[in-house]
Structure 1
Amino acid sequence: MSAPLYVAVAGAATAGTTTAAGASEHRPLIITLFGLFVVATLAITVWAGRQTKDAADFYAGGRQFTGFQNGLAISGDYMSAASFLGIAGAIALFGYDGFLYSIGFLVAWLVALLLVAEPLRNSGRYTMGDVLAYRMRQRPVRTAAGTSTIVVSIFYLLAQMAGAGVLVSLLLGITSDFGKVVIVSLVGVLMILYVTIGGMKGTTWVQMIKAVLLIAGTLLITFLVLLKFNFNISDLLGQAADNSGQGVKFLEPGLKYGKDSLSKLDFLSLGLALVLGTAGLPHILIRFYTVPTAKAARKSVNWAIGIIGAFYLMTIVLGFGAAALLKRADIIASNKAGTTAAPLLAQEIGGGSGSTGGAVLLAVISAVAFATILAVVAGLTLASSSSFAHDIYVNVIRKGKATEKEEVRAARWSTVVIGAVAIGLGALARDLNVAGLVALAFAVAASANLPTILYSLFWKRFTTQGALWSIYGGLISSVVLVLFSPVVSGKPTSMFKGADFYWFPLENPGIISIPLGFLLGWLGTVLSKEKADPQKFAELEVRSLTGTGAH
Structure 2
Amino acid sequence: MSAIAAVLAQVDQTMESNPVLNMSVFGAFVAVTLFIVIRASRNNKTAADYYAGGRSFTGTQNGFAISGDYLSAASFLGICGAIAVNGYDGFLYSIGFLVAWLVALLLVAELMRNTGKFTMADVLSFRLKQTPVRMAAALTTLAVCFFYLLAQMAGAGGLVSLLLGIDAPIGQSIVIAVVGVLMIIYVLIGGMKGTTWVQIIKAFLLIGGAFVMTIWVLAIYGFNFDALLQGAVDNSPMGEEILGPGLQYANPVDFLSLGLALVLGTAGLPHVLMRFYTVPTAKEARKSVVWAIWLIGGFYLLTLVLGYGAGALVGPETIENAPGGVNSAAPLLAQAIGGPILMGFISAVAFATILAVVAGLTITAAASFAHDIYASVIRKGQVTGDGEVKVARITVLVIGALAIIGGIGVQGQNVAFLVALAFAVAASANLPTILYSLFWRGFTTRGAVWSMYGGLAAALLLILFSPVVSGAETSVFPDANFAIWPLSNPGIVSIPIGFALGWIGSITTPKGSEDPRLAAEMEVRSLTGHGAEKAVEH
User: Within 1, Cα distance between the matches of 2:472 and 2:233?
Assistant: 29
CA contact (8 A) 2:236 2:316 kept: yes
User: Within 1, Cα distance between the matches of 2:411 and 2:65?
Assistant: 28
CA, structure 1 residues 93+304, in 2 after alignment: closer, same or farther (shift >3 Å)?
same
CA contact (8 A) 2:162 2:322 kept: no
**Aligned twin of 1:277:** 265
User: Within 1, Cα distance between the matches of 2:416 and 2:226?
Assistant: 34
Residue 434 of structure 1 and its aligned partner are, at CA, apart by 7.3
Deviations 1:345-375 (A, max 9, x none): 111112xxxxxxx111111121111111111
| Mapping 1:26-425, distance limit 5 Å | 26-174=18-166, 178-244=170-236, 248-257=240-249, 259=250, 263-334=251-322, 338-350=326-338, 358-425=339-406
AA in 2 matched with 1:442: F
User: Within 1, Cα distance between the matches of 2:94 and 2:169?
Assistant: 35
AA in 1 matched with 2:461: V
Residue 319 of structure 1 and its aligned partner are, at CA, apart by 1.5
CA contact (8 A) 1:23 1:171 kept: no
SS in structure 2 of the partner of residue 338 of structure 1: helix
| Mapping 1:424-435, distance limit 5 Å | 424-430=405-411
Deviations 1:204-236 (A, max 9, x none): 001111111111110111111111122222332
User: Within 1, Cα distance between the matches of 2:406 and 2:227?
Assistant: 46
The farther-off stretch of 385-394 and 97-106 is 97-106
1:468 aligns with 2:449: yes
AA in 1 matched with 2:370: A
CA, structure 1 residues 424+281, in 2 after alignment: closer, same or farther (shift >3 Å)?
same
**2:434 aligned to which of 431, 447, 453:** 453
Residue 166 of structure 1 and its aligned partner are, at CA, apart by 4.1
The farther-off stretch of 359-368 and 448-457 is 359-368
**1:534 aligned to which of 502, 505, 516:** 516
Residue 60 of structure 1 and its aligned partner are, at CA, apart by 0.5
CA contact (8 A) 1:75 1:307 kept: yes
The farther-off stretch of 389-398 and 169-178 is 169-178
CA contact (8 A) 2:162 2:323 kept: no
SS in structure 1 of the partner of residue 182 of structure 2: helix
SS in structure 2 of the partner of residue 345 of structure 1: helix
CA, structure 1 residues 541+476, in 2 after alignment: closer, same or farther (shift >3 Å)?
same
**Aligned twin of 1:444:** 425
CA, structure 1 residues 22+392, in 2 after alignment: closer, same or farther (shift >3 Å)?
farther
User: Within 2, Cα distance between the matches of 1:310 and 1:106?
Assistant: 9
Residue 311 of structure 1 and its aligned partner are, at CA, apart by 0.4
CA contact (8 A) 1:444 1:475 kept: yes
SS in structure 1 of the partner of residue 327 of structure 2: coil
The farther-off stretch of 368-377 and 337-346 is 337-346
SS in structure 1 of the partner of residue 255 of structure 2: helix
User: Within 2, Cα distance between the matches of 1:196 and 1:124?
Assistant: 24
The farther-off stretch of 280-289 and 185-194 is 185-194
1:477 aligns with 2:458: yes
User: Within 2, Cα distance between the matches of 1:503 and 1:58?
Assistant: 44
Residue ranges of structure 2 left out of the alignment (5+ in a row)? 1-9, 534-538
Residue 249 of structure 1 and its aligned partner are, at CA, apart by 4.4
Residue 170 of structure 1 and its aligned partner are, at CA, apart by 3.7
SS in structure 2 of the partner of residue 363 of structure 1: helix
CA, structure 1 residues 437+253, in 2 after alignment: closer, same or farther (shift >3 Å)?
closer
CA contact (8 A) 1:19 1:343 kept: no
User: Please, what is the CA RMSD of the aligned residues?
Assistant: 2.2
User: Within 2, Cα distance between the matches of 1:28 and 1:373?
Assistant: 20
CA contact (8 A) 1:484 1:501 kept: yes
TM-score, normalised with respect to structure 2: 0.92
Residue 91 of structure 1 and its aligned partner are, at CA, apart by 2.0
CA, structure 1 residues 211+174, in 2 after alignment: closer, same or farther (shift >3 Å)?
same
SS in structure 2 of the partner of residue 495 of structure 1: coil
SS in structure 2 of the partner of residue 340 of structure 1: helix
User: Within 1, Cα distance between the matches of 2:116 and 2:11?
Assistant: 46
**Aligned twin of 2:470:** 489
CA contact (8 A) 1:109 1:278 kept: yes
TM-score, normalised with respect to structure 1: 0.90
Deviations 1:70-124 (A, max 9, x none): 1101111111111112222222223333222211111000000000000000000
SS in structure 1 of the partner of residue 326 of structure 2: coil
